Structure 1
Amino acid sequence: MIVITILTGEDRVGVNKGEVKLNRTTKLTMLACLFLLFSVLAACGGGGNNAGNTAGNTGANTPAEGNQAAGGKEGNTQESATKVYKDGLDKEVEVPVNPQRIVALHNVGELLALGVKPLGTTDYHLNKYDPEKVAGVESVGESDPNMEKLVELEPDLIIVSSYFTPEVIAGLEKIAPVVATKWGLTPTEHLDALADLLGKEEEKQAWLDAYAAKVESVKAKIGQYAGEKAVVLQFWEKTIYRHSPTVFASLYEAGFVAPEQAAAVTQTEAISEEAVVDFAADADRLFLLVEDPSNKDRYNELKGTAWKDIPAVQKDQVHLVDTGRWNDYSASAMMWILEDLEAMFGNH
């Protein structure tokens, strides 16, 4: 999310999400036509396409295979039951008690942490995970959702973020119930909200236990670095950004410490190259989020400027890390940061 943030186009910057650009007249016109056609087909008894697409007792949303009870959806009262859920926009939404066909345009990391594989998501999310993790998950667009594809998938629940525009949400609501999670919550807060929505309290606790165990394991392996001060910055295009330390909670839970100036940052904001010198003046280590960690050209250029006076640069303790893994601000990113720390420092 970095760090932080998921933007439209996504892997952009921090917590100030951009708008989702979906109000194209042609798309909405096509959506209206498809929606009308879908309604006519349903009235003619074409509901057989749903067979085999509901998951088993685990509640996981496996799009290609499932264990639907005999008699189909019409005969399964648990699947047809609904409840009212207040989402991140303080909007009361009638949702399925046991949704089977979830399209997630946000919070994919939290859903996977709960053992729920969405039916579909955007390429932005699909490209972050190992192929086996998202096997069978349909693409519904690159960074913006393709409304026609969403209609085809027949979701029974769509999960978005509260930063989506009202116009986009209104369009999605014509396809299925839409729950907006609150933008700005921490990954564990999102985990709480989604566990409540989907009835996955046991799965949530299992993930929290596994995460706590991973933190302790990494701390034990990199204990010699405990207490070192670490600053995280993100390079995006020609701008440098700093983020709230909460975005990188795993880094600091593993034993590193945020210096006073870094600890005072509460939101994503740009910082000039010159200002970094003072901002990182107390840092023992500098973590730079970049698109390609193997490309050190820009960092090498900065080493010839006032950056040469930064203690971490002088001690050659600057680490280039993958912005796609560190900036997601998700449950998955919390684990990815720990894995990267273990790989970087665990064998020293």
Structure 2
Amino acid sequence: MDKRNTNKRVGFYLILIVLMTAVLATACGRQDEQAEPGVQAEASKQAESAAPSAEVDPAPSTEAASEAPGGEARSYTHEFGTMEVTGAPERIVGVYLDDFLLALGVKPLTQTMYGTRPLPYLQDRVGDLPAISTGSINLELILQEKPELILLAYPAYAQEGRYEQFAKIAPTYVFSGEDGWKDTLKKVADVIGRPEQAEAWLNDYVGKAAEARESLKQVLGDETVMFIRFTRAERIQIYGGPSNFSADVLYGDLGLQPSKLIKEFAWGEDNSAPLISAEMIPDFDADHIFITYDKPGEDDAKEFKSHPLWKNVPAVQKGNLHEVEMFHWMNDGPIANSIKVDDVLKALLK
């Protein structure tokens, strides 16, 4: 092939990618860093929304991957089309699926940012990987990483013609965002050719949760628990269940008892997290309260923490107000949920 023609073609594709990136940035602008991270389940609605010690096995070697089952192409159909993948690809971009890939022993090519902030609970695993913000997904960056496979956690990332842009770079699979984290882990594992890793992780997690559940039952008995999130002054939320991504661990996996307030205001199948005001603090009736702050250093968060109404809350009087870190409590990945179990045990088994 004529070298000049090759250069022209390379130049054409670079220009095309730049244009595509600009379009994507504009279209995704509504998912800016002020969007509420829920970080998996809430984003799926586009509404705001470890095994024993959350350890992750190192990524499998190239030799192990070549021996993985599924040498023939596997076809997967999703909302935006059909794609094929062969074997167990290692070079994977997973937009908001970092947690799942790492749990399966795969270090992704990029890390997903929440706005401009990385996910701190994954930093010891991802290090300084190139960063992707869901508010403006950099297609040129993804192209430079030469992925074999692209996974998108939510349809929002693929809408308005963006799926076709991803698919030109590598085979792309779009998740519905509506499945529970365990089913999502199984699907990710199936698509990337590592079903055994998913089964092993889930078996470890189920065993860990069952052991924790029994220990908590012996210590707590019928004592109740609630979970609150402070985003900003006008966005204080209480989380219930049984299908909500944080309450899922508390009331499902760990078998803890929701308080009367939770059952009355936040118990439902729609993953709702009702907004409340600070005036409801005296109604916080749980024996133990878990609370997270999106930005604990902000003035309104400090004001909420020091609100005089807290002093009359029974859980506070007993020293049972437990502050937890937002990024993994508002995330529904397998590693995040395993760390939640660790947090609960640390707080309640004093």
Corresponding residue for residue 228 of structure 2:
233
**After the TM superposition, which of the residue ranges 126-135 and 113-122 deviates more from structure 2?**
126-135
Match of 1:332? 335
The match for 1:58 is 64
Conserved? CA contact 2:80–2:163, under 8 Å: no
Summarize the alignment of residues 41-80 of structure 1 with structure 2, pairs less than 5 Å apart: 55-59=61-65
Residue aligned with 1:233, SS: strand
Residue pair 1:244, 1:265 contacting (<8 A) in 2 also? no
The alignment partner of 1:171 has SS state of helix
Residue 169 of structure 2 corresponds to: 175
Deviation of the 1:180 alpha carbon: 0.8
TM-aligned CA deviation for residue 200 of structure 1: 1.9
Deviations 1:75-134 (A, max 9, x none): xxx77x5321023x2632223343231101122212222222212232349533454422
What is residue 130 of structure 2 aligned with on the other side? Answer: 139
Using the alignment, how far apart are the partners of 2:32 and 2:44 within structure 1? 6
CA RMSD, 1 decimal: 3.3
* SS of 1:138 mapped into structure 2: coil
Tell me the distance in 2 between the aligned counterparts of 1:121 and 1:13.
16
2:211 matched to which residue of 1? 217
The separation in 2 between residues aligned to 1:265 and 1:309, in whole angstroms, is: 32
Q: Which residue of 1 aligns with 2:305?
A: 300
The reply on whether 1:272 has 2:280 as its aligned counterpart is no
Question: For each residue in 1:240-284, what CA deviation from the matched residue of structure 2 results, as whole angstroms up to 9, or x when unmatched?
Answer: 123343312222322421232233363244412157458x55422
Paired residues of 2:290 and 2:321 also in contact (CA < 8 A): yes
Residue matched to 1:344: 347
Once the two structures are TM-superposed, the CA of residue 155 in structure 1 deviates from its matched residue by 0.7
Report deviation, 1:314. 4.6
| Secondary structure class of the residue paired with 1:133 | helix
Q: Which residue of 2 aligns with 1:47?
A: none
Matched-pair contact (CA < 8 Å) for 2:296–2:302: no
Task: String of CA shifts for 1:145-188, please: whole Å, max 9, x gaps.
Answer: 21111111111111112232413323212211111112132110
TM-score, normalised relative to structure 2: 0.70
Using the aligned pairs only, state the percent identity.
23
* Aligned partners of 2:92 and 2:150 also within 8 Å: yes
Aligned equivalents of 1:130, 1:164: Cα separation in 2: 22
Q: 1:322 offset after TM fit, Å?
A: 0.8
Aligned to 1:103: 93
Structure 2: gaps spanning 5 or more residues: 1-30, 47-59
With the length of structure 1 as denominator, give the TM-score of the two structures. Answer: 0.70
The answer as to whether partners of 1:8 and 1:17 remain within 8 angstroms in 2 is no
* Greater alpha carbon shift after TM alignment, 204-213 vs 140-149: 140-149
Aligned with 1:150 (options 139, 142, 145)? 142
Number of matched pairs: 287
Secondary structure at the counterpart of residue 58 of structure 1? helix
> Partner letter of residue 225 of structure 1?
L
* Unpaired runs of at least 5, structure 1: 1-6, 21-53, 60-67, 70-77
The alignment status of 1:250 with 2:241, answered yes or no, reads no
SS at match of 1:264: coil
